[in-house]
Amino acid sequence: GNSVTQMEGPVTLSEEAFLTINCTYTATGYPSLFWYVQYPGEGLQLLLKATKADDKGSNKGFEATYRKETTSFHLEKGSVQVSDSAVYFCALSGGSGGSNYKLTFGKGTLLTVNP
């Protein structure tokens, strides 16, 4: 079956630092890949997604590239802000082992950005 492994947190950075949160997946076929963000007290929100190999998803300065050769979808941002403090979830759907609407999540990575 499908699975997602993401970097354990928590991650603490200073404002304007570079962010990388690693995410690797196990799936057969060609799953869709996602990053969701959960701000304190709120529900998960879709941050970005990629649906095929070499696609780059981007939003709000965050980027992630679908790397099939390394089965990875690492999240990056060049300069984080205090407002980026949240929990970040990597997820996938579809592929040969799953339906195209069931999401499989990683455990989440708590990011804290200090001023």
Partner 1 sequence: GAVVSQHPSWVICKSGTSVKIECRSLDFQATTMFWYRQFPKQSLMLMATSNEGSKATYEQGVEKDKFLINHASLTLSTLTVTSAHPEDSSFYICSARGLAGPDTQYFGPGTRLTVL
Give the interface with partner 1 as residue ranges (CB under 8 A).
4, 32, 34, 36, 41-46, 49, 51, 89, 93-94, 100-103, 105-108
Q: Minimum CB separation from partner 1 for residue 32, in Å?
A: 5
CB of 115: closest distance to partner 1 in angstroms? 26
98 Cβ contact partners less than 8 Å away, ≥ 6 residues apart? 1, 2, 27, 31, 92, 104
Find the shortest distance in angstroms from Cβ 42 to partner 1.
6
Other CB atoms within 10 A of residue 61 CB: 13
Amino acid at 109: T
With respect to partner 1, which residue has the nearer C-beta, 44 or 80? 44
The nearer residue to partner 1, 42 or 69, going by C-beta atoms, is: 42
Peptide bond into 40 cis (omega under 30): no
